[in-house]
Structure 1
Amino acid sequence: MYLFENPVLQRELLVNLRTKRAFFLLAIYQILLAAVVLIAWPTDERLDLSSSPPSATKLVNLFFLGQYVIASLMAPSFAAGTITGEKERKTYEMLLASPLRPGAIVLGKMIASLTHIGMLIVGSLPIIVLCLPLGGVSVYEVLAAYLGLIVSVILFGAIGVLSSSYFTRTASSLVVSYLAILPLVMLAVLFWNSLSADGDLRLKLAVLVFPAFGLSGVILMGAAAAGRMLYPPDVGSEGKEVIDLEKEAEEAVGLVIQPDQFPDRLFAPPKKQELMPDGANPVYDKEIHSEIFSQGTLMLRLVIQISMVLAIPLMGVFLFFRAEQAPWFSVYVIVFNMLVGPVFLASSMTSERERQTLDLLLTTTLTPTQILWGKFVVGFRVSAVLTGFLLWPLLLGSALNHMFWTNLAAVAAMFAIVLMVCLVNAVVALTCSLFQRKTSIALLTTYAVLLFLYVVPVALSTLAKTLDFTEPTSEMLGWTGVASPFAALFSLPLDTNLVKDNPAVNQGNLPIVLGYFAFSATLLVLSAIAMVLRLRSRRGLSDD
C-alpha cells in the first residue's frame, strides 16, 4: 500500500513521465551539462594526469556546482504542487475520503515528484565519466558528491511537500519552499568549496553526517505533512479551507499581521468598510482589499520572518565586517524579490481564467490599460513593500558605517537598481500571467525568464574569467551584463574607504550600470505594449 501497490504513486508516475515536458526537460538538462563540459574542457596540448591538472579540477568542480544548483532549483517546482495541485483541481476532498493512509499519500506524492529529477541525475553520469580520466577528482569524491546531491534533492522535495500541505495555491507553496531552500543551498556550496583542500574530511562529512541529518529532516517533514492530512483543517465546498483571520492571528507563532496598523497596512490593508468612491479603479480596489487575505496570512508571515532572519547575519557580514563586499547584500535583496515578487502578479490574469471570470472582465467598460494598471499596482505595491523591509539594513549600515559616507552615490545606485528590479520582475510576471493559462506555469515561466536575464550573463562572464578566454571574447561576454542587475551592482565604482586592498580608486564600469537601466526601461516599454495589444485583440483569451 505504501510503495508497490500505492495508487497515488502509480498514477503520478504515469502522468508525469508520459508528458512531452518530461522528455523535453531531460533533453535540456543533458544539453546544459554537456555544454558546460564542452566549454570548460581543458585546451592544454598536454596534461600531466599524475598531478591533477588545475584545468581538469576546475572543470569537475564547475560541473558539480552547476548540476547542484540546477537540481536544487528544479526540486521545489516538482514537489511544491503535489498537494496544492489536488486543491486547485478540486480533488483534495475526494483524496482525503479515500481509504489510503495519509503516510501512503505523502510518500507516493514525494517519490513521484522526485523520480523525474532522479532520472536527470542518473542521466548525467555518462558526462561526468568523461571527465574522470582528466584527473582532479577521485571516484570516491564523485560518489560522495552524487550521494549529497540525491540527499539534497530528497530534502528539498520534502520541504516542498510540507509547504504544499499548508497552502491552497501552488504559487504560495513554491515561494515559501524556495525561501527555505535558499540558505541550505548557500551553506552546501560554501561547505563544498571551503573543504576543497581537505578531501578526506569533506568525503566523510558528505557520506556520513550530511545524509543522517538530511534524511532525519525528510522523515520529520513527511510525518508532519501526513499528520496534517490525517487531521485536516475545516474545509468547505470543493475542498477549500475555511480560514478565520481572527483565529489565525491568535494561533500565529512569531509575527502577527495587523492590517489596521502601520506598516502592515502598506502591503495588507484592511477590508473595506465603505462604498468604493466614484472614479476609482474597481480592479485595483477588489484586488488590494480582497485577494491578499483570501487565503490567509500564513504565506506573508513566513516570507517576512524567513527573509528577516537571513537579512540580519548578512547585514553584519557585508555592511560592517566586510564592507567592501556591500553589493552582496543587495544581491540577497534582489534574489528575495525574484522569488517573492512574481507570486503576487503571476496569478493576476491566470486566476481570472481559473475562476472562469476572465470573459466577464473583458466585457466590462474597463479599458485594457485600466485592467492592467489595477493588477500591476497591487502586485507591485505588495512586493515592493516586502522588499523595502530588507532595504532598511542597507540604509542603516550606510548611515552607521563611516566607510559608506564617501560612497553615497554607489549606495543610492544600489537602491535604484533594486527599485528597477522590482519593476522588471512585476512586469515580467504580469506579462507571463497574460500569456499563460495556469498560475503554476506562469510563475515557472517568470522564474525561467528572470534567471535567463539575470544569471546567464553573469555565468558567462564568470566562465570566461575562470577558463581564461581570449580578451575579445571576454569583453563581448561582459557586455551581456547590461541585462543583469548583479553585473550592474558589481560594476558600481567604490573608493578606497571600502576597497582597502586597492590603493587606487575603483572606477567600476559605469557603461554596464547605465546600460542596465537602459535595457530594463526598454524591456518595460516593450512588455507594456505587448500586454495592451494582447488585451485589445482578445485572441486566445476567451475560455471558449
Structure 2
Amino acid sequence: MRINPVLRNESKLAARTPKFTILLFIYIAILSAGVLVFYNLYSETFYANGLDLQSSVMLYFGMAIGQAVLLMFIVPALTSTAICSEREKQTLDMLLSSKLTPFQIIIGKLSSSSIKVIMLIICTMPIYVVCGLTGGIRISNIIQLIMFFAVTTIFVGSIGVFISTYTKTSKVATALTYALVLFIFIGTLIIAFIILMVEGMKGNGADPGIPWIVYLSPATGFMSMLSNQVGMVGQMGYMVPSMDISKYAEYISIAIQLGLSVVFIYLSVIKLNPLNTKRNLKIFKRKKS
C-alpha cells in the first residue's frame, strides 16, 4: 500500500520533534486532572454510599464537553497553517512542481493534521472507560463519541486547510479559521435562535419548528448524541426533544460535516491547482489584448 508522500513526510517530522509528545502529555494531563478532581470531590460520598451511577454519567458528560472544547481550539491551530507555512517557507512551488497532484497535497496535509488529533482522542479512551467500569456508561457510547469527534476533526481540519489555501500568511489564516469555526459552531445556533424569536413575535399561533440552519452546527448533533446516550444528566434530557430537534440529529450532523468537508477539499484543490492560475492569466491577457 502506497502512503501519501506528504503524509509520510509530515509524520516523520512529527516523530522527530518533541512538540507533539508534549501536546499529547498536556492534553491527557488536563483531562486526567479533571477526573481526579471529580473523584476527589465525590470521595466522601463514595465511601459512605458507594458508587452512584449518576455521578459516572456526570463525569462522562463533563469530559465529553471538555474534550469538545479542547478540540475546537486545537484542530484549527494544527490545520490553518498547512499550506500557508509552505508558502511562507517558499517550498510550495517545489511541491506543485513535483509529481504530486494538488489533491494529494491537500489530502496529505489534512490527513497528517487529523491523524495527530485522532491520536489524542484515542489516547483518552482509557479515561472514558473509567466511567464504563463504574457503571452508567456503555462501551458503545464511548466508541460512538470517539467516532463523532473523529468526523468533527476532519470537518474542522478541512476548514483550516481551505482557509490556508486561500490566504498568504499564517496569522491571517489562523484568525479566519477560528472565526469561521466559531461561526459554524455557535453563530448558526444564534441565528437559529433569532429566527425562532422573530417567528414567535409574529404570533401566528402555529409552531414554526426548528430552523434547518441549526443542523449546520456540529454542536447540535453532539448535544443530541449525549441526550440519546445518557439523558444529558437529569432534567436536561428533555431539552433536545422539547426543541423539536430530531433524535437522529447526530447522524444528520455527521452527514452534513462529511459533505461540507468534501466541498472544502474540492475548493482547496481548485485553488491550489497551478493550471487554473495559468488558465486565468491567459484569459486575462486575451481580454486585455
Fold match by TM threshold 0.5? yes
For residue 376 of structure 1, report the CA deviation from its aligned partner. 2.1
Secondary structure, aligned partner of 1:404: coil
Q: 1:501 to 1:482 in 2, by over 3 A?
A: closer
Q: 1:509 to 1:430 in 2, by over 3 A?
A: same
Name the CA distance, whole Å, in 2 between partners of 1:449 and 1:456: 9
Name the CA distance, whole Å, in 2 between partners of 1:309 and 1:465: 41
1:352-390 Cα offsets, whole Å, 9 max, x none, are 111112122211122222222222221111121123333
Residue in 2 aligned with 1:422?
153
**Gaps in structure 1 of 5+ consecutive residues:** 1-277
Q: Does 1:439 align with 2:170?
A: yes
Q: Does 1:491 align with 2:232?
A: no
Match of 1:525 among 238, 262, 270: 262
Aligned residues: 256
For residue 523 of structure 1, report the CA deviation from its aligned partner. 0.2
Q: Which amino acid aligns with 2:102?
A: P
Residue in 2 aligned with 1:297?
18
Q: Does 1:452 align with 2:212?
A: no
Name the CA distance, whole Å, in 2 between partners of 1:281 and 1:309: 32
> Is the CA contact 2:141–2:229 (under 8 Å) kept in the aligned structure 1?
no
Secondary structure, aligned partner of 1:347: coil
Residue in 2 aligned with 1:288?
11
> In terms of Rg, which structure is larger?
1
Name the CA distance, whole Å, in 1 between partners of 2:246 and 2:55: 25
Secondary structure, aligned partner of 2:100: coil
Q: 1:487 to 1:327 in 2, by over 3 A?
A: farther
> Is the CA contact 1:330–1:418 (under 8 Å) kept in the aligned structure 2?
no
Secondary structure, aligned partner of 1:491: helix
Find runs of 4+ consecutive structure 1 residues off by over 6 angstroms: 462-468, 471-474, 495-498
TM-score, with normalisation over the residues of structure 1? 0.41
For residue 395 of structure 1, report the CA deviation from its aligned partner. 3.2
Residue in 1 aligned with 2:251?
514
1:102-157 Cα offsets, whole Å, 9 max, x none, are xxxxxxxxxxxxxxxxxxxxxxxxxxxxxxxxxxxxxxxxxxxxxxxxxxxxxxxx
For residue 423 of structure 1, report the CA deviation from its aligned partner. 0.9
For residue 306 of structure 1, report the CA deviation from its aligned partner. 3.6
Q: 1:514 to 1:496 in 2, by over 3 A?
A: closer
Match of 1:535 among 272, 279, 282: 272
Q: 1:433 to 1:538 in 2, by over 3 A?
A: farther
Match of 2:129 among 389, 395, 418: 395
Name the CA distance, whole Å, in 1 between partners of 2:197 and 2:126: 35
Q: 1:461 to 1:331 in 2, by over 3 A?
A: farther
For residue 310 of structure 1, report the CA deviation from its aligned partner. 2.9
Name the CA distance, whole Å, in 2 between partners of 1:503 and 1:312: 26
Q: Which amino acid aligns with 1:403?
A: G
Within-5 A mapping of 1:234-253:
none
Identity among equivalent positions (%) equals: 18
Within-5 A mapping of 1:122-521:
280-290=3-13, 293=16, 296-298=17-19, 300-301=21-22, 303-315=23-35, 317=38, 321=55, 323-324=57-58, 326-397=60-131, 399-405=132-138, 410-460=141-191, 475-477=209-211, 479-492=212-225, 493-494=227-228, 499-500=233-234, 509-521=246-258
Greater length-normalized contact order (CA 8 Å, ≥ 6 residues apart): 2
Name the CA distance, whole Å, in 2 between partners of 1:283 and 1:313: 36
For residue 454 of structure 1, report the CA deviation from its aligned partner. 0.8
Name the CA distance, whole Å, in 2 between partners of 1:379 and 1:503: 35
1:201-250 Cα offsets, whole Å, 9 max, x none, are xxxxxxxxxxxxxxxxxxxxxxxxxxxxxxxxxxxxxxxxxxxxxxxxxx
Q: 1:329 to 1:502 in 2, by over 3 A?
A: closer
Name the CA distance, whole Å, in 2 between partners of 1:372 and 1:539: 16
Secondary structure, aligned partner of 1:420: helix
Name the CA distance, whole Å, in 2 between partners of 1:468 and 1:328: 34
Comparing both structures, which one devotes a greater share of its residues to helix?
2
Secondary structure, aligned partner of 1:403: coil
Name the CA distance, whole Å, in 2 between partners of 1:497 and 1:370: 42
Name the CA distance, whole Å, in 2 between partners of 1:382 and 1:420: 14
**Gaps in structure 2 of 5+ consecutive residues:** 40-52, 279-289
CA RMSD of aligned residues (A): 3.8
Name the CA distance, whole Å, in 2 between partners of 1:494 and 1:473: 24
Q: Which amino acid aligns with 1:348?
A: A
Q: Which amino acid aligns with 1:366?
A: L
Name the CA distance, whole Å, in 1 between partners of 2:109 and 2:136: 41
For residue 509 of structure 1, report the CA deviation from its aligned partner. 3.5
Q: Which amino acid aligns with 2:31?
A: A
Q: Which amino acid aligns with 1:517?
A: I
Residue in 1 aligned with 2:49?
none
Secondary structure, aligned partner of 2:136: helix
Name the CA distance, whole Å, in 1 between partners of 2:124 and 2:3: 31
For residue 468 of structure 1, report the CA deviation from its aligned partner. 11
